[in-house]
Structure 1
Amino acid sequence: MKKWLSLSTLCVVLLIGGCNTGNDQQEPKEEVNGEDTQEDPSTEQTPEDEDAEQEGEDEGVQNNEDFLAIEDEFTKDFLVETEVEPGFHQMRGELDGFEMLIPENGIISDLLHDIENNAIETIIFTFNNYIEKKLYDVKLMYYKKYPEEVKQNYLNVFKTEVNFDGEYKYAEANGLEMYYGSFEDEDEYGPYMRYFGYLFAEERNQAISFTYMAMCQGEGECSISLEEESEMAEKLMYSIRLLDQ
């Protein structure tokens, strides 16, 4: 089963988020001020040095600090309030149609943001859990106005998009009708879980779709628990508010 966000797109986001550590080392310069430089034999690495360097890299995987939303030039333009609660900021779509929580290490790429006809806004943001080697991405599609008669069509098409063949659960919160579901699976990249919902404003024809995905990042041990990962997904989905237009 293919993930809705391609691996190539994720690589772009990971590079923006500063979590691609594979290319940190640079090639040594051959010239300084036009003159060739000779490598100092005393600077050659010994096996002990290489072991220490490898140990440092391993520690970096565990302790590497995230590239924060407030430090990213594109992401911070969406933030309307910082530190609304520990680890989270409040973000608003560019069309001023919705607000929700975003993790403090959530990064929105300008390559993954789109506005169509000043009526439909797509936002994708990602964040990481370096210690557990997991990557998360969240996709939102906001509709400023939709025809009430096609509401069921929206729900049917959404099922196909997220590869879900079950029945929606239903809830009401924040003045929204919420149709949602979740599942876990595995593909060629490893285990993953998907949590999703379609939210409709009760008193006006606004809507927003929400798709949350958790997956393993890189090699090594990593497990995805639907129950555990759903806690964060639900927190983000239930934080969504559709705003008066």
Structure 2
Amino acid sequence: MKTWLRISTLCAVLLIVGCNTANNQQEPEEEVNGEEKQEDSDAEQTSADDDATQEVEGEGVDNEDDRLAVEHEFTNSFLVETDVEPGFHQMRGGLEGFEMLIPENGIIPSMLHVIENNKIETLIYAINNNLEKKQYNVQVIYQSKYPQELKQNYLNVFKDEMGFEDEYVRVEANDLEIYYGKVEDKDEYGPVLKYFGYLFSKEQNQAISYEFMAMCQGKDECDISLEEEAEVAEKLMYSIRLLDQ
């Protein structure tokens, strides 16, 4: 897999988590005929500040993490059914090769969706839990046709990429052959969970890799239950369906 796609997971964090910081620090400047407008008096400045505050309170700041999937135009274009169960929608990939659940607050930035040669689709979505200072990233890479003789090579490379030294757990579900595992770690802000799987169609030579990561946001410490997050990761993985092509 291309290096920039691996780096793009970090971009998702910066893009979504960083929006609040950028918007809070940026101050709008008014210009008149190309020059900055001078303050006429302290009273006029106070009035302008009050008006700006009312405008923000009335309309809201257009941050990625302030919106739900149905309210985000690009994300909404992937949804095929909303509220399939509490807190989740059903989404379909751009190549129409797979469907899976997406949490209602999952956001797919357009810069993190790529289709190559109409055969391979990479999609990353991020989920913020600002109240608990948690960040989640989910990445899937769908292949409409993979060389079956290289299946074991795919699994070995994927294991190395995940830093996984144990053996995969193998299960069969939803007409899929699934190999999955997880890595629990800790950084300076708290626990980190990587849950991942490679799913192969039993009927067609389609495949999809799945990665779920849970971590603390930014520089804020948080409490993450690795067991609970693994349950969410597993739920999303088992929701994946490969569609007939």
TM-score, normalised relative to structure 2 = 0.81
Q: Which moved more, 1:161-170 or 1:183-192?
A: 183-192
Given candidates 35, 38, 52, the residue that maps to 1:36 is 38
Residue 15 of structure 2 corresponds to residue 12 of structure 1? yes
Distance 1:31 1:121 in 2: 44
Residue 186 of structure 2 corresponds to residue 186 of structure 1? yes
Q: Kindly indicate whether the alpha-carbon contact (under 8 Å) linking 1:97 and 1:144 is maintained by their aligned counterparts in 2.
A: yes
Q: Which residue of 2 aligns with 1:244?
A: 244
Q: Which amino acid aligns with 1:37?
A: E
- Secondary structure (helix, strand or coil) at the match of 2:111 reads strand
Residue correspondence of structure 1 range 1-245 to structure 2 within 5 A: 4-5=6-7, 7-15=10-18, 20-21=20-21, 23-24=23-24, 26-27=26-27, 29=29, 36-40=38-42, 66-187=66-187, 190-245=190-245
Distance 2:141 2:158 in 1: 11
Higher helix share: 2
Distance 2:25 2:184 in 1: 37
Distance 1:219 1:225 in 2: 18
Distance 1:144 1:29 in 2: 49
Q: Kindly indicate whether the alpha-carbon contact (under 8 Å) linking 2:189 and 2:219 is maintained by their aligned counterparts in 1.
A: no
Q: Which moved more, 1:32-41 or 1:130-139?
A: 32-41
Change (3 A) 1:140 1:67: same
1:210-232 CA-partner distances (Å, limit 9, x unpaired): 00000100233312222111111
- Secondary structure (helix, strand or coil) at the match of 1:13 reads helix
Q: Kindly indicate whether the alpha-carbon contact (under 8 Å) linking 1:185 and 1:191 is maintained by their aligned counterparts in 2.
A: yes
Structure 2: gaps of 5 or more residues: 1-5, 47-64
Distance 1:198 1:29 in 2: 50
Instruction: Flag as ranges the 4+ runs of structure 1 deviating above 4 A.
Output: 28-35, 41-44
1:35-77 CA-partner distances (Å, limit 9, x unpaired): 6214527988xxxxxxxxxxxxxxxxxxxx7411111111111
* C-alpha deviation, 1:117, in angstroms: 1.0
Q: Kindly indicate whether the alpha-carbon contact (under 8 Å) linking 2:12 and 2:125 is maintained by their aligned counterparts in 1.
A: no
Q: Which residue of 1 aligns with 2:61?
A: none
Distance 1:217 1:106 in 2: 15
Q: Which amino acid aligns with 1:214?
A: A
Percent pairwise identity? 63
Distance 1:110 1:184 in 2: 29
- Secondary structure (helix, strand or coil) at the match of 2:77 reads helix
Change (3 A) 1:142 1:8: closer
Structure 1: gaps of 5 or more residues: 45-64
- Secondary structure (helix, strand or coil) at the match of 1:20 reads helix
Give the number of equivalent residue pairs. Answer: 221
Q: Which amino acid aligns with 1:78?
A: F
* C-alpha deviation, 1:208, in angstroms: 0.4
Distance 2:73 2:122 in 1: 18
